[in-house]
């Protein structure tokens, strides 16, 4: 009967790895796994390749999507530059209709957003704020204007207070363009 190999001896002793005097099919002279005889170096290279492949599968589609979105935005900007005043008005009217329909179809979501805004405003109103002056500012708002927070209550880099000296009158269209930005041209 012939002599058993190093793998068999390692299995008998319950070891995870063994060393063979023969190189693997890729020429590595390294340890091998006892359970399947695979070369440890080949296994590491395979895992590295799989990781790179998975990483590329996650990152590349995201990059492609962002690039496609940027190209679409550029293309839309070029098309809008060629629009006539009638087309611009029609586009705005269609956007208003879409918005109105969405608000009608999603009352719970709209209520949640409104409640969050009110809660944020309450949280950003200090105890020492003069509520009568704030009320007067809101009552005195001219037609076609909004009361705007100079430093927004929920901005990305700044968070203002709901006090009378942080309020201003801003034309409605400018206030909607400003959104939650602090440095707005």
Do both 74 and 1 map to the same domain?
yes
Mean pLDDT over residues 68-89, rounded?
A: 92
Residue 83 burial (CB count, 10 A):
12
Write down the pLDDT at residue 3.
63
Do both 21 and 76 map to the same domain?
yes
Do both 4 and 63 map to the same domain?
yes
pLDDT at 86 exceeding the cut of 80: yes
| The two structure tokens encoding residue 104 | 């009608």
Residue 110 burial (CB count, 10 A):
13
Do both 133 and 115 map to the same domain?
no
Do both 135 and 184 map to the same domain?
yes
Write down the pLDDT at residue 121.
87
pLDDT per residue as tens digits for the range 99-120: 999 999 999 999 999 999 899 8
| The two structure tokens encoding residue 174 | 């400018």
Nearest to 147 by CA among 129, 159, 163, 132: 163
Do both 104 and 65 map to the same domain?
no
Do both 92 and 140 map to the same domain?
no
Do both 76 and 23 map to the same domain?
yes
| The two structure tokens encoding residue 37 | 């005889």
- 32 strand-pairing partners: 18, 39
Do both 5 and 57 map to the same domain?
yes
Nearest to 170 by CA among 159, 179, 158: 179
What whole-number distance in Å separates Cα of residue 28 and Cα of residue 39? 7
Mean pLDDT over residues 79-95, rounded?
A: 92
Do both 101 and 130 map to the same domain?
no
User: Residues 145, 171: contact at Cβ < 8 Å?
Assistant: yes
Domain count, the chain: 3
Token pair 């041209």 is found at: 185
Identify the domain containing residue 115 by its residue range: 83-123
pLDDT per residue as tens digits for the range 12-62: 888 888 888 888 888 888 888 888 888 888 888 888 888 877 777 777 777
Do both 17 and 74 map to the same domain?
yes
Write down the pLDDT at residue 1.
39
Nearest to 50 by CA among 62, 58, 63, 35: 58
DSSP alpha helix (H) spans, the chain: 6-12, 40-81, 85-105, 107-123, 131-139, 172-178
Do both 2 and 66 map to the same domain?
yes
Give 28's contacts (C-beta < 8 A, 6+ positions apart): 39, 40, 41, 42
User: Residues 184, 177: contact at Cβ < 8 Å?
Assistant: yes
| Model confidence pTM above 0.85 | no
Distances (CA, A) of 161 to 71, 140, 156, 182: 39, 20, 14, 13
């Amino acid at each position: 009967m012939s002599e058993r190999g190093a793998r068999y001896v390692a299995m008998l002793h319950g070891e995870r790895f063994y060393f063979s005097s023969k190189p693997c099919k890729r020429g590595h002279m390294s340890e091998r796994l006892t359970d399947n005889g695979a070369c440890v170096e080949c296994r590491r290279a395979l895992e590295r390749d799989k990781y790179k492949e998975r990483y590329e599968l996650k990152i590349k589609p995201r990059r492609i999507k962002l690039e496609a979105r940027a190209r679409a935005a550029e293309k839309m900007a070029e098309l809008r530059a060629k629009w006539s005043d009638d087309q611009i008005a029609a586009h705005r009217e269609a956007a208003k209709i879409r918005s109105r329909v969405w608000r009608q179809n999603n009352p719970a979501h709209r209520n949640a957003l409104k409640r969050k805004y009110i809660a944020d405003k309450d949280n950003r109103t200090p105890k020492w704020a003069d509520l009568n002056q704030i009320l007067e500012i809101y009552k005195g708002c001219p037609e076609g204007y909004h009361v705007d927070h100079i430093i927004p209550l929920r901005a990305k880099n700044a968070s203002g207070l709901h006090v009378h000296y942080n309020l201003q009158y801003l034309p409605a269209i400018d206030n909607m363009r400003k959104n939650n930005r602090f440095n707005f041209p």
